[in-house]
Amino acid sequence: MSSSSSPGVDIMTQTEENSRSRHDHTSETMDSESLRQLLEDGELDTLRWEDDDISLRSAASNSRLPYDKLTAQELVHFPDASDSKASTNLYLFIRNKILQLWLLEPNVELTSEDAIDQLPIPFNSDRRFVRRIHGFLQRYGFINYGNFHRLASALVLTSKRKRVIIVGAGAAGIAALKQLHFFGFEVVLLEARKRLGGRVHTYHQKDSSVVADLGAMVVTGINGNPIVTMMRQTQCTPVRITPDCPIYDEYGKLVDQRKDELVAEAFKKIGDTASYIAHTLGVTEVNGKKLSIADAYNNILEMLELRMQRRRLKYWQIYEEILEKMKQVQNEITLYKKSAVFLAEKLKSSDGSIPHTLDPDSRLEQDILRRCYRRDLGEAIKRYDAARERFRNLETTLRNLKKQEPSEVYMNQRDRRLLDFHFANLEYVSGATLEKLSLQHFDQDDEFQFTGSHMAIRDGYGDFLTRLVTSDVTAMIKQNAVVESIKYDQKGNKKIGIVNNEPYESESKKALITELQNNEETIQSTAENDRNAKKWLKWNLRMVKKQN
């Protein structure tokens, strides 16, 4: 929820002495029946199992953290937690317990004092250590995000509040606005449109409760998804999306399921091949030009088409060889048949009694000749039958080969239309055309995707984002503010922007861009090498030294 590029926040300056206990503020809507049914494996129920191993596992899983080990980020901020197995186990229990407390009641801020009070003895004896863990989880958006009732005073950064300008009021921009405001920044959100939501846009039919999401509409995966927590906070009703996705052709007829599955499998193989080319073979550019997904997919399809034509060439070569063999065997059959007929006629003409007038030698010669005819006739018939058998076998082979004839093309026109549906769907979920998606980087977020059921929101995704914009941040949003450029001055001290053709100055070096910019000149430079970004790490190391 909070960007790692956000300025360092000195959490310990928060004035919590005057905070009230979150027990005084019960969650207005802990979970609706539909949400309980939607959450798989009963995560909310397991969270209520007091200090049970399963409940803590569930809390860590639903917070996108491993239950039994520290992440690389945690190891940087808590080197003392890895000194021994006991230190690691202590850290993990406190961290998972704080996550459990937050997820059980996300409508109310979880302060460090509340966490200390609710930790069992002796785990709360080192109050400074608990505050450090709480501060880390809060700083990186694992707790106290979204819409929740504030119990403590605003976090104080320095004597002078820092100002941050957010460009783009989409889901990321709104989330950044909420979190940075909670951290104590002075925030301004600039949105070019006259509406909020960015790619999220819900259409409301007049005089009707009918709504339709025209842009982003799916909560993709509920396991560990912070949107599920914020849906509980905003009382939005989830609707489970079934995995069935019937496809209709251009004539309004349902596409055959088997055909749909085959094309979907082909699409998956094309994607796997593209990933293999980029990440295993390391081919990401050709002649100095970066490859896009469109380049890779088109090349793969051309290679598949080439392979198909090679298969067809091999097929017809085998077909031709069989026909040539059949021709040879047919010639043999004809020859053996003629030989058999000739020998039969000869044998028939000599099948009489040998005249007694012939001398003994002539009689013997005639007898031997008749026997030779009979023998040769038998041999001709035998060879004729064998040739006929070979011919029948070749006919069977040819019939079977005809059944295996490759397609004339890798994918016909109708199948290609189905494949184009999957390409279009990929463009939809990516928010850009395939030509603008990098082959090397477009799937970089795959490992961070959420598992579990997909959901829609009954009143629309736009309604959900609207509910996130509470009265305390409404005045910070400036609509119809088209940001045309963002620059630094020569000293690098001031942010000078052009908004609606007029200069827009800010003394902040911070600019958080939450929109995809199509024009490279729109953003000429961004905040880099922020000196405040290291404050958080320094503060943690200072706490370690004090403890030691």
Specify whether 258 is located in the same domain as 333.
yes
Tens digit of each residue's pLDDT, the chain (548 residues)? 333 333 333 333 343 333 445 655 544 443 445 444 444 444 445 455 555 788 899 999 999 999 999 999 999 999 999 889 999 999 999 999 999 999 999 999 999 999 999 999 989 999 999 999 999 999 999 999 999 998 877 666 555 777 888 999 999 999 999 999 998 888 999 999 999 999 899 999 888 888 999 888 899 889 999 999 999 999 999 999 888 888 888 889 999 999 999 999 999 999 999 999 999 999 999 988 999 999 999 999 999 999 999 999 999 999 999 999 999 999 999 999 999 998 888 877 776 565 666 677 777 777 788 888 888 889 999 999 999 999 999 999 999 999 999 988 888 888 999 999 999 989 988 878 999 999 988 877 777 788 888 999 999 999 999 999 999 999 999 999 888 877 766 665 546 566 666 666 655 555 555 654 443 333 333 333 334 434 444 544 454 444 44
Specify whether 425 is located in the same domain as 535.
no
CATH code at position 411:
1.10.287.80
The dihedral sign for the CA sequence 267, 268, 273, 279: positive
Specify whether 402 is located in the same domain as 523.
no
Q: With beta carbons less than 8 A apart as the criterion, state whether 166 and 190 touch.
A: yes
Rounded-to-integer distance, Cα 457 and Cα 215, Å? 13
- Percentages helix, strand, coil for the chain (3-state, rounded to 5) are 50, 10, 40
The dihedral sign for the CA sequence 247, 249, 254, 255: negative
Domain boundary, last residue among 421, 445, 469: 445
Rounded-to-integer distance, Cα 91 and Cα 78, Å? 9
Specify whether 302 is located in the same domain as 433.
yes
Give me the residue label for tokens 């005073």.
Answer: 153
Domain that holds residue 132: 11-198+461-547
Backbone angles phi, psi at 167, to 5 degrees: -105, 115
Rounded-to-integer distance, Cα 533 and Cα 232, Å? 32
Is 236 inside a domain boundary? no
The whole-number pLDDT of residue 23 equals: 56
Rounded-to-integer distance, Cα 194 and Cα 399, Å? 68
Specify whether 344 is located in the same domain as 470.
no
Is 419 inside a domain boundary? yes
Domain boundary, last residue among 386, 414, 445: 445
* Structure-token pair, residue 151: 């119990």
Q: Which long-range contacts (C-beta less than 8 Å, at least 24 apart) are formed by 283-287?
A: 284/439, 284/440
CB atoms within 10 A of CB 432: 16
Q: Concatenated DSSP letters for 75-87?
A: HHH-GGGGSSHHH
Domain boundary, last residue among 410, 445, 480: 445
- Alpha-carbon distance values, 453 to 128, 215, 223, 236, 327 (Å): 39, 20, 8, 17, 62
Residue type, 192: A
Is 268 inside a domain boundary? yes
Rounded-to-integer distance, Cα 464 and Cα 238, Å? 10
Specify whether 433 is located in the same domain as 481.
no
Give the chain's end-to-end CA distance (angstroms, integer). 32
The whole-number pLDDT of residue 458 equals: 92
The whole-number pLDDT of residue 245 equals: 82
Bond before 122 cis per omega within 30 degrees: yes
The whole-number pLDDT of residue 277 equals: 92
The whole-number pLDDT of residue 475 equals: 92
Specify whether 281 is located in the same domain as 403.
yes
Is 4 inside a domain boundary? no
The dihedral sign for the CA sequence 87, 88, 92, 93: negative
Rounded-to-integer distance, Cα 158 and Cα 117, Å? 28
The whole-number pLDDT of residue 42 equals: 44
Rounded-to-integer distance, Cα 240 and Cα 219, Å? 10
Specify whether 165 is located in the same domain as 280.
no
The whole-number pLDDT of residue 500 equals: 64
The runs of H, that is alpha helices, within 281-355 are 293-349
Is 3 inside a domain boundary? no
Q: With beta carbons less than 8 A apart as the criterion, state whether 443 and 275 touch.
A: yes
The whole-number pLDDT of residue 483 equals: 84
Rounded-to-integer distance, Cα 528 and Cα 440, Å? 24
Is 471 inside a domain boundary? yes
* Number of domains making up the chain: 2
Give me the residue label for tokens 């999957």.
Answer: 422
Spatial CA neighbour of 221 closest among 467, 448, 463, 459: 448
Is 233 inside a domain boundary? no
pTM above 0.95, yes or no: no
The whole-number pLDDT of residue 535 equals: 47
Give me the residue label for tokens 């004597």.
Answer: 159
- Residues in contact with 535: Cβ distance below 8 Å, sequence separation at least 6, in sequence order: 7, 8, 9, 10
CA 224-230-231 angle, 5° bins: 100
Specify whether 430 is located in the same domain as 286.
yes
Is 290 inside a domain boundary? yes
CATH code at position 130:
1.10.10.10
Rounded-to-integer distance, Cα 120 and Cα 52, Å? 12
Specify whether 36 is located in the same domain as 80.
yes
Specify whether 387 is located in the same domain as 505.
no
Specify whether 413 is located in the same domain as 378.
yes
CA 74-75-76 angle, 5° bins: 90
The runs of H, that is alpha helices, within 9-111 are 33-38, 43-47, 53-61, 72-77, 85-104
Classify 196 as helix, strand or coil.
coil
- Alpha-carbon distance values, 277 to 58, 157, 218, 222, 285 (Å): 37, 47, 30, 31, 11
